[in-house]
């Protein structure tokens, strides 16, 4: 379990008071810091890089999602709980891929907020049901992106994207490790990607895998 250090990155007093109350109620009584802007947040993280950040993205001075992800990449030991409203679908889809970000809405239930806080201490993420539904419904209404992959390569990419190893895929498809490695190299070459993370993003965008499968 990680250290109990929390940073409340929010400029709404009512939200901060609510999180303070919930942390006390569920017994997470570690150090607690506040950050009213990006500069203060980075300062707090510089001194506590293993912290859990409860962030209202819409109320802090990040320029865009990439700006937020740059800060996240600087502090890879930190866990983030986005606690915001009015997040766009493209934003949610992009942040969903980042495993260190949990997502709550300001109208999430107390049980959902508590669960996200507890899971953060076990370095597990939490996505509230309404966000999951929003992402899933949007996928169902979007036409699948045309792909240069063969049907066999698409099936292998699905397995790669949900975390299967080359050995596991070979066993599942009754094939050799060498054959699967060759398919994997061809997939990366055709998609012009360099690693599993980039290939997974393609699979999500194109609808080859469901967000629910990726989350599980």
Specify the length of the chain in residues: 216
Q: Cα–Cα distances in Å, from 106 out to 81, 98, 130, 151?
A: 12, 20, 11, 42
Q: What is the pLDDT of residue 56?
A: 94
State which of 140, 160, 180 marks the end of a domain: 140
Residue 17: what pLDDT? 93
Q: Which residues share a beta bridge with 146?
A: none
Q: What confidence score (pLDDT) does residue 144 get?
A: 47
Q: Is the pLDDT of residue 3 over 80?
A: no
Pairing of strands 5-9, 52-55: parallel
Residue 68 sits in the same domain as residue 135: yes
Residue 13 lies in a domain: yes
> Is there a domain that residue 216 lies in?
no
Over residues 64-78, mean pLDDT: 93
Is the residue at 104 inside a domain? yes
> Looking at the structure, do residues 63 and 117 belong to the same domain, yes or no?
yes
Give dist(CA 37, CA 48) in Å, integer. 16
Structure tokens at 97: 């891929």
- 27 lies in the same domain as 119: yes
Q: Which structural domain range is residue 179 located in?
A: 151-210
Q: What is the mean pLDDT of residues 40-49?
A: 95
Please check whether residues 21 and 92 belong to one and the same domain: yes
Angle value at C-alpha 79, between 75 and 82, nearest 5 degrees? 115
DSSP codes joined into one string, 159-203: HHHTT--HHHHHHHTT--HHHHHHHHHHHHHHHT--SHHHHHHHH
Our count of domains for the chain comes to: 2
CB atoms near residue 48 (< 10 Å): 20
Does residue 106 carry a pLDDT above 60? yes
Q: Which of 30, 85, 79, 16 is nearest to 53 (CA)?
A: 79
Residues 127 and 27 in one domain: yes
Establish if 215 belongs to a structural domain: no
Q: Which two tokens stand for residue 201?
A: 């993003």
Last residue of a domain, one of 97, 120, 140: 140
The reply to whether 164 and 135 lie within a common domain is no
- 162 in the same domain as 119: no
Same domain, 115 and 155: no
138 band by pLDDT with thresholds 50, 70 and 90: low
Note whether residue 182 is domain-resident.
yes
Q: Tell whether 145 is covered by a domain.
A: no
Same domain for 162 and 124, yes or no, is no
**Token duo for residue 103:** 């997502």
Do both 130 and 162 map to the same domain? no
Asked whether the predicted pLDDT for residue 123 surpasses 50, the reply is: yes
Assigned token pair, 118: 């507890």
Same domain, 79 and 173: no
């Amino acid at each position: 379990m990680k250290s109990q250090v929390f940073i409340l990155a929010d400029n709404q007093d009512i939200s901060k008071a609510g999180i303070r109350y919930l942390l006390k109620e569920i017994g997470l009584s570690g150090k607690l810091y506040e950050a009213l802007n990006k500069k203060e947040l980075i300062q707090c993280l510089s001194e506590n890089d293993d912290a859990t950040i409860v962030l209202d993205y819409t109320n802090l001075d990040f320029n865009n999602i990439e700006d937020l992800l740059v800060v996240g990449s600087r502090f890879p030991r930190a866990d983030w709980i986005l606690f915001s409203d009015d997040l766009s679908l493209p934003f949610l889809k992009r942040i969903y891929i980042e495993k260190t970000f949990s997502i709550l809405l300001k109208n999430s239930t107390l049980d959902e907020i508590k669960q996200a806080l507890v899971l953060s201490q076990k370095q597990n993420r939490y996505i509230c049901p309404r966000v999951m539904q929003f992402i899933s419904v949007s996928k169902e209404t979007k036409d699948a992106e045309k792909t240069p992959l063969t049907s066999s390569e698409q099936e292998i990419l699905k397995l790669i994207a949900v975390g299967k190893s080359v050995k596991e895929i070979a066993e599942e498809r009754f094939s050799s490790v060498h054959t699967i490695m060759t398919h994997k190299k061809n997939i990366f070459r055709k998609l012009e990607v360099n690693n599993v993370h980039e290939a997974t993003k393609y699979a999500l965008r194109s609808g080859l895998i469901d967000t629910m499968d990726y989350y599980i």
